[in-house]
Amino acid sequence: MRTGSDPNASLVKETPIRKTVEELAAEPRPANMSSPTEAYAHYQNRRAEGVERTIYEVEATVVACKLQMSGSYHLNLQGKTGQTLVANCIDPQFVDPKSRWAKEIAAVRKEVEATLKPGPTYIHGSHKVRIRGIGFFNRVHGQSGMAPNGLELTPVLSIEWLS
């Protein structure tokens, strides 16, 4: 699902919705996946209505980044109040070339690698960005920068560095 090759990828609306980090961190979870600390097997290969079928555009500050064991670049986005949200830049080698977003995922990955140079430990900084990604309710299990509701942007589809 995170790579856009799932059967529900066609249900994701093309037009991005502008939100703040704080607004996304306050989004309610779907009733049938209400606990942020539980895993929901029935959503492993399908998207919940609403948030998981929406592309969001967020202006935030990247305050930390890291290369995950999965190969994804984990970005910690921070809003104006200090609230954080995770955004994941998927490793394109794990993306089906037929994925709806294969080109965008590869382009974002290259851009983040060139600008932030993520490694296996967290790199901290302050990089203002405008980022687009698809909403995804992950399981909260102590991830750095995770919103309390488990909402993250995965995959990231575009990133623009702001001055």
CA dist., res. 69 & res. 26, Å (int): 28
pLDDT tens profile 32-80: 888 888 887 767 777 888 999 999 999 999 999 999 999 999 999 999 9
Residue 59 sits in a domain whose CATH number is 2.40.50.140
95, 88, 97, 83: which is closest to 149 by C-alpha? 83
pTM: 0.93
* Average pLDDT of the residues in 100-110: 96
86 belongs to a structural domain: yes
As to burial, measured by CB atoms within 10 angstroms (0-12 exposed, 13-18 middle, 19+ buried), residue 80 is: exposed
149 belongs to a structural domain: yes
Residue 16, domain extent: 9-161
118 belongs to a structural domain: yes
Residue 76 CB neighbour total at 10 angstroms:
21
pLDDT at 1: 52
77 belongs to a structural domain: yes
pLDDT at 39: 80
47 belongs to a structural domain: yes
Quickly state the pLDDT bin for 155 (edges 50, 70, 90). very high
How many residues belong to the chain?
163
